[in-house]
Amino acid sequence: MEKRGQVTIFIIVAIVIVAVFLAFLVYPRVRVLVSSDVNPSSYLKACLEPELEDTLGVLVNHGGYYEPTNYVLYKGEKIQYLCYTAENYKPCIVQQPLLVRHVEQELKAKLGPKARQCMNDLKVLYEQKGYQVSGLSGEINVSIVPDKIFIQYDTSLIVSKEQTQTFRQLEISKDSKIYDLLLTATSIVQFESTLGDSETLLYVQFYPDLIIEKLKKEGDTIYTLRNVVSEDKFTFATRSLVWPSGYGVIQNG
C-alpha cells in the first residue's frame, strides 16, 4: 500500500516537471495568452520573433539572400556574390546595389505570410474571449536602421466587446547592428569593383567594434563582418581580379 502511494507521488512529480518544462518552452506564447487583456503588438511580437530570428540568421549567412542565386559554396553554405566577374584579371561588376533595401525586401517576403497567419490566430484568440474582430488584413513593412530592425504591420484592426479599440499600426523592433554591417559590405563592394581588392584594416581604423575576416579561395573572396560587442555578423562573397593558377591558359575540361 505504501509502495503504491509512493509511485503515485512519483508520477505526480513527473507530470509537474513535464508541465513546467513545457511551460518554459512556450513561455512567450503563454505570457500573452494568460494576460487578461490581449495586446496585439505583444502578441505579434511573440508570434513573429522566432520567424524573424530564423530568417535573419539565414540572410546574414548567405550574403543577404534567403535563396542565393549566384553563389559560392563554402562549408555547406551558399554565399551570394555581391560583386562578380567571370573573367580573369578584371575587377568585379556590382551585382547587388541598395543592399539595405534588398535585405528589407527579403525579410518582408518571408515575414509577410507569417504575420498574416499570426493576425488570424489573434482573431481566433479574441473571438474565444467573446470579442468581435474586423479589419485584420494589412501590409507588413520592414525597415533596417542603425541599431534596430523595425517591423510595422499597417492594419485597421477593430476589436469590440463592451468598448471598441482600433489599432492602426502594430510595431515590433529588434536590436541589431546589421545596418552598419550592410553599409560596410557595400563599401567593400565599392572597393572590389574599383580596385579589385579591399583593405580590411582601413575599416577597423574607423569602426572600433568591427572585425572583418577575409578568406581567399580559388579566386573567390568570402568576407565575414562581425560586431564584437553585439556579435551580429554578415557574410558575403565577391569574385574580383582573379589570378588563375599557372598561366591560366590551358585547362582540362
Partner 1 sequence: MVNDENKIVNKILIDNTRAIMRNRYVLGFILMILGVFLFTININFSSGEVSATVCCEKTTSGAYCQNVPSNECDPSSRQVPTSCDSTSYCKAGTCYDSNEGTCLDNTPQLVCNANDGIWSENSPAQCELGCCILGDQAAFVSLVRCKKLSAFLGLQANFDKTIGNEVACVAKVQQQDRGACVFESDFQKTCRFTTRGECGAINNNGTNAGAFYKDKLCSAEELGTICGPSTKTACAPGKDEVYFLDTCGNAANIYDASKYSDKDYWTNVKLKGESCNPSSANTASSSCGNCNYLQGSYCRATDVSGGKTSYGDNICADLNCIDENGAKRKHGESWCISDDTKKVEGEQKVGSRFYRRICMNNQVVTEPCEDLRAEECVEDSIETSSGSFSQAACRVNRWQDCIAQTEKQDCENTDRRDCFWKEGVTLGNATINGACLPRVGPGLAFWNSEESKVVCGAGNKLCVVKFEKGLFGGEKCISNCECLEPGWEKDYGEVCSAMGDCGSSLNYVGKKGFREGLKILINGEPKEEA
Do residues 60 and 54 lie in contact, with contact meaning Cβ atoms separated by under 8 Å?
no
Q: CA-based angle 4:7:9, to the nearest 5?
A: 115
Strand pairing of 138-145 and 148-160?
antiparallel
User: Could you say whether residue 158 binds partner 1 (CB under 8 A)?
Assistant: no
User: Which is nearer to partner 1, 122 or 185 (by Cβ)?
Assistant: 185
Per-position x/- string for 93-132, each x denoting binding to partner 1 as judged by CB under 8 A, each - no binding: xxxxxx-xxx------------------------------
Report d(CA 79, CA 72) in Å as an integer. Answer: 5
Print the binding letters for residues 198-217 with partner 1: x by CB under 8 A, - otherwise: -xxx--xx--xxxxxxxxxx
In the set 51, 116, 190, 233, which binds partner 1 (CB under 8 A)? Answer: 190
Which DSSP category does 40 fall into?
H
Task: Output the nine-digit C-alpha cell for 121.
Answer: 490566430
From CA 228, how far away is CA 44, in angstroms rounded? Answer: 30
**Contact (Cβ atoms closer than 8 angstroms) between residue 232 and residue 178:** yes
Asked whether position 33 contacts partner 1 by CB under 8 A, the answer is no
189 touches partner 1 (CB under 8 A): yes
Please enumerate in sequence order all residues whose Cβ is within 8 A of that of 114, keeping only pairs 6 or more positions apart, or say none. Answer: 47, 48, 51
CB of 54 to partner 1, least distance (A): 24
* Site for partner 1 contains 183 (CB under 8 A): yes
Q: How many residues bind partner 1 (CB under 8 A)?
A: 55
CA dist 24 and 20 (Å) reads 6
CB nearer to partner 1: pick between 67 and 154: 67
152 touching partner 1, by CB under 8 A: no
Which positions lie near partner 1, rule CB under 8 A? 69-71, 81, 84-87, 91, 93-98, 100-102, 145-146, 183, 186, 189-190, 193-194, 199-201, 204-205, 208-219, 228-229, 243-247, 249-253
